[in-house]
Amino acid sequence: MLIAQITDIHVGFERGNPDEYNLKRLGKVLRRLSDGPNRPDLLLMSGDLTEYGDAESYARLADAVAQCPVPIWPMMGNHDLRGPLLDAFPQTPASEGFVQYALDLDGLRLIILDTTDEWRHGGAFCDARARWLASELEAHPSTPTVIAMHHPPFESGIAWMDCDADEQWIARFTAAVSGHRQIVSILSGHLHRNIHTLWNGIALSVCPSTAPLVALDLGPIDSAKPDGRTMISDEPPALALHRWDGRQLVTHTEAVGDFPAMAHFDEAMQPVVRLIESERRDG
Ligand SMILES: [Fe+2]
């Protein structure tokens, strides 16, 4: 099972431009998924699908992903609006007014959370969503489960983007997942960078964005004193591939670009492949 994840696409950042930069970056990533060596089983779009939540941007996104050869599962981010998202992707399940649903993937459950309060930048997770998550987890206690949520529930050190680890929505989320040992991983977005941590004993990965990345600057920030630091950088668009082999979820990320190959599998490389193969047999 190969789960592809793309995130923070931000279609419509250049209002009214059907040929905008963020759509070009998305196109490169989609071509990599469809034409590259790693055809996924599904594509998760983990929020901030558009910049302003407008119907025109969702229509452009739906058009861009229409040729994608695998099922597409959208999620809410803080730049999204539920109504226009569901209009553009009507196959998306929703419950109790939130874009939250669970997928059964051949022995693995993928639970999609909605961590947005519309027009709020940071995360949100109310009692109703916490109850829904807890009931989903209680109903399938022995099925390995991955949780996908746009907002990561931890402080990354990129100060201007960070939440406070003591926010109430994080406490509600923590209580909902507490004691559910079937959770193998949490997949997030929002921070526009590739970040990994162990959160309450659960592996957590943040997928880098297809839109331009958030610059890696771990220094403190004073909102009263603009210091000229780089905040957004034009690093390559990226994707994540989460490989489930029945025992373990392994997360890969890939920056997408026209990078030259430095070696091919040919007669020159064949001894290396054979050596590693023989060690694997003998190990
Ligand atoms: Fe976001």
Amino acid 66: pLDDT: 96
- Average pLDDT of the residues in 258-283: 95
Listed in sequence order, the DSSP H helices in the chain are 21-35, 55-65, 82-88, 127-139, 168-177, 270-282
Average pLDDT in the chain: 97
User: How many Å lie between the centroid of ligand 1 and the Cα of residue 192?
Assistant: 8
- Give me ligand 1 centre to Cα 91, in Å: 23
Distance 154 CA to ligand 1 centre (A): 14
Q: Helix 127-139 vs helix 168-177: angle between axes, to the nearest 10 degrees?
A: 20
CA of 47 to the centre of ligand 1 (A): 7
- Residue 172, both tokens: 């509600």
Q: What is the pLDDT of residues 76-134, one digit of tens each?
A: 999 999 999 999 999 999 999 999 999 999 899 999 999 999 989 999 999 999 999 99
155 CA to centre of ligand 1 in angstroms: 14
Q: How much distance in Å is there from the Cα of 189 to the middle of ligand 1?
A: 7
How far is the C-alpha of 110 from the C-alpha of 104, rounded, in Å? 7
Q: What is the mean pLDDT of residues 143-169?
A: 97
Class of domain 2-282: alpha beta
Q: Which residues pair with 6 in a beta bridge?
A: 45
Residue with tokens 């990226």: 238
How far apart are the CA of 205 and the centre of ligand 1, in A?
A: 15
Q: Domains of the chain: which residue ranges?
A: 2-282
Q: How far is the CA of 24 from the centre of ligand 1 (A)?
A: 20
pLDDT tens, 18-74? 999 999 999 999 999 999 999 999 999 999 999 999 999 999 999 999 999 999 999
* 283: pLDDT strictly greater than 80: no
User: What pTM was computed for the model?
Assistant: 0.97
Query: 61, 9 in Cβ contact below 8 A?
Result: yes
Sheet holding 238-244, edge to edge: 72-74, 42-45, 2-6, 238-244, 249-255
What are the tens digits of pLDDT across the range 177-208?
999 999 999 999 999 999 999 999 999 999 99
pLDDT at 282 over 90: no
Please list the alpha-helical segments (H only) found in 71-201.
82-88, 127-139, 168-177
Gap between the Cα atoms of 120 and 130, Å rounded: 18
Q: What's the DSSP call for residue 151?
A: S
Cα 261 to ligand 1 centre (Å): 33
- How far does the centroid of ligand 1 lie from the alpha carbon of residue 116, in Å? 9
